Structure 1
Amino acid sequence: MGVEFGYRGQRLGLPEEGPGSVARPGRRIAALFIDWALCMLIAYGLLSGGRMQSASNWALVVFAVLSVLTVGTVGFTPGKRLVGLRVAAEGGGRISLPRVVLRTLLLLVIIPAVIWDRDGRGLHDRLARSVEVRI
């Protein structure tokens, strides 16, 4: 009944299970939660002067800087590393810095991150030609 689309990542040439397979939504959300909590701690402790409303605004800036620097250099944020994920280019290897910046800006807008394709990639990953995979 219906059309068989295959497994997530099949169109990208990725394995179905194990290292290199497309990351599942639960791990991606857990990584995002860990990164956001870390950014809130940094913003509250170092930048906001103890004001929680100001910490929320600064946390967004810290999150953007953290994402660009860590994904652009090592391929993962601290949260992604803790849950066993990394960001890779569609063809394999590292994602280039301009694509990391584009991916991060789209992630900050939120809407592209909640629109997913059948491979489980958010619109921000599609536009940056990247994919989150398991380590």
Structure 2
Amino acid sequence: MGAVAGFGRRLLGVTVDWLLAYVLTLAVMGLDALGGSAIGWWVWAVWFVLTVIPTAFFGMTPGMVAVGIRVARVDMAATVGFRAILRTVLLGLVLPAVVRDADGRGWHDRASQTIVIRSRA
């Protein structure tokens, strides 16, 4: 616990969150929305809210809980707070999350001064 989370767990966690965003979007819009051109933007908006709010207050999203990881601030503050907005915007752009440093932190984590750690073994 407390060690930097590996890329596999991080990828699985964000995948669970994206799938949950799809399910929630389709639950509201109906299956007919699958053929629409705006479905991707709606899913992204739902994913954004589903990621920012729990990360800001609890340090983890539903997908992170499922895979046993959480976001922590590098200055050891209790909550991520407003940094979750910048982190999520950059995570949604994908490239900043894929490019990582020697510590395994993506650009989105470096810009928001956060790190993803394991919350259970």
Could you tell me which of 7, 14, 24 is aligned with 1:32? 14
More helix by share: 2
Please name the residue that 1:51 is paired with: 33
Structure 2 distance, partners of 1:97, 1:91, is 12
Q: Counterpart in 1 of 2:3?
A: 21
| Residue of structure 1 aligned with 2:65, choices 81, 85, 88 | 81
Larger Rg belongs to: 1
Instruction: Evaluate the alpha carbon distance shift between residue 105 and residue 94 of structure 1 in structure 2; reply closer, same or farther with a 3 A threshold.
Output: farther
Distance in 2 (alpha carbons) for counterparts of 1:108 and 1:63:
9
Q: Which has the higher contact order (CA 8 A, sep 6+)?
A: 2
SS for the counterpart of 1:118 is: coil
User: What's the CA shift for 1:44?
Assistant: 1.1
Listed one character per residue, the Cα deviations across residues 43-95 of structure 1 (whole Å, up to 9, x for unaligned) are 11113563114432211000111111110111100000010000000122434
* Percent identity for Structure 1 against Structure 2: 35
Residue 13 (structure 1) aligns with:
none
Out of 85, 99, 108, the residue aligned to residue 115 of structure 1 is 99
Counterpart residue identity of residue 29, structure 1: L
- Ranges in structure 1 where 5+ consecutive residues have no aligned partner: 1-18
* Runs of 4+ with >6 A deviation: none
Separation (CA, whole Å) in 2 of partners of 1:65 and 1:49? 21
Q: Is the 8 A contact 2:2 2:118 kept in 1?
A: yes
Contact 1:20–1:134 (CA under 8 A) maintained in structure 2: yes
C-alpha distance in 1, partners of 2:14/2:85?
A: 17
TM-score (norm 2): 0.89
1:97 is displaced (CA, Å) by: 2.4
Amino acid at match of 2:42: W
Using structure 1 for the length normalisation, give the TM-score: 0.81
Q: Distance in 1 between matches of 2:99 and 2:10?
A: 14
